[in-house]
Chains A and B, each alone.
Chain A
Amino acid sequence: MNDKIAMVDIFLMGKRYTVPETLTIIDAMEYAGYQLVRGCGCRAGFCGACATVYRMAGDYELKVGLACQTKVEDGMYLAQIPFFPGRKANFNLEDIKPSTAHFTQLYPEVYRCLGCSSCSKVCPQDIDVMQYIAYIQRGDFEKAADISFDCLMCGLCVSRCPANIVHYNAALTARRLYGRYIAKPDPFLVERAKAIEEGKLDAEIDELVAADDEKLQELYNTREIEK
């Protein structure tokens, strides 16, 4: 059933290795003998640790991908960017508001976007990065939060930006502002938290904590299940 797996040549920082074509870049680096310390994280496309830049032999175009989410191809020249020294503005969320005035103080460079769209082209999550920067400029934090949501903070956008914008940190601040100030709080949650803090729900649960296994099992087996 299992045909012989084809091999391909890849170039890790310029050095050639022959690896099975079914592997992701991460797996291929390990197959080649690397013990990874940086440039490897969740291995499932959630953490942004393994941002990778590559080019195919004979082509001038630089491509990007997450090493754990990209299959190797024959003639792939690649290097990882395991860290990028992007700036983060520190803030106290309670002292700022979702306003352009506050945002300008935290991330003034956001307003110097040149509109080149390099960030959007480079995003491995296919996020329209430049568009959310534009929303931030306009003070539309709701839209910025929405379209930047799938960001993994891998830093590739920052590596290509001629205006030195740190998109992923600006986006995270926008999302926190949205979550804190624009999205409405859940009314019942506030009430429930208060009831717990006041000890109003203690009696009900203490009765269960004190119950023996037989009683608990019976309650569990016969509990009502919401449709």
Chain B
Amino acid sequence: MMQHTGELNLSDFPRTCGEWLQGRGADSDVVISSRIRLARNIRGFNFPIKMTEKQKAEVVELVAEAIRGRALRLDLNSSSSIDRALLVERHLISKELANGDGARSVIFGRGEMVSIMVNEEDHLRIQCIKSGFDLDRIWARLSRIDRLLERQLPIAFDDKVGYLTACPTNVGTGMRVSVMLHLPCLTMKEHIRKVQRACDSMNLALRGLYGEGTQALGDFYQISNQATLGKSEEQTVAAIKQVMPVVIKYERGMREALLKEDKAFLEDRVERALATLRAARQINVEEMMQHMSMVRLGLRCGLIPPAGLGIHELNELFLLCQPAHLQKHERRSLTPEERNVLRADIIRNRLSQASMN
């Protein structure tokens, strides 16, 4: 039965995090999560930019019919801006969809691994996200969902240029594969440019966590494919799979070398970060991420005893301390200053609980 997730379900959100932040899966010491998304449009309708309000509503309804009974659905046109920001922070929808207008919706599974955005830039944006480095299983799952959808909906396709998308940068497979990485030691030692070069030669993009124009916040990076035309889906996945082990090995090697040669330096950075998080009375997202990056590294390198505080707990804390999650948790809107104080309180509480356990 289709269910409109109202206030009820979203209020539970701040207490949990999606599968992609569980810190599980292969190579999870370096790879936070892997994601693949497909852009699809329904034949017979203009793309969202040229659609009337009535047509938008019709597409939302058609898609809801097609996926009946399989997932949770949320109508974004009638939801609050905090709810939309909450979904963005959970990587269930894009900023573009959150800030868009007109009839649009998101449909997602309970595990929050699969989500379908309706009437974003394209009619359909289907994504599957999972913790660790596991592109094969993601693609297998996404591929199945894609096949299920096309049994229900006629998809805009051309034999020459493939799946037709609103932006010509997505035409062809409509596929974007991206892997989120935590590369603290490569960043520390300024070796990121070598990673950049490796990506460059493979026609892949290396970006900071939140795309262009952002600092590589908390040493998080994204590697994704650029081209969608001329390469098959399998070839696109293979290209990422080819470059990833190199990057992972590189970061691991750098961690080992640092541990061996300059353990004091590494310990100092990790302990200072932990101390700051334990002591701060107000903290913004950027600072939190920087320190959490070091704590994460400390946990992975065995510099911090994992008693009571694991990667999973750290991830949960990280998500809960994002602006919309904080406000949802408090059930009211907060100024940035209020958020900084609340964030510091929550972190301090959780960390002191962890150390007592």
Q: Do A and B bind each other?
A: no
Chain A residues near B (Cβ < 8 Å): none
Chain B residues near A (Cβ < 8 Å): none
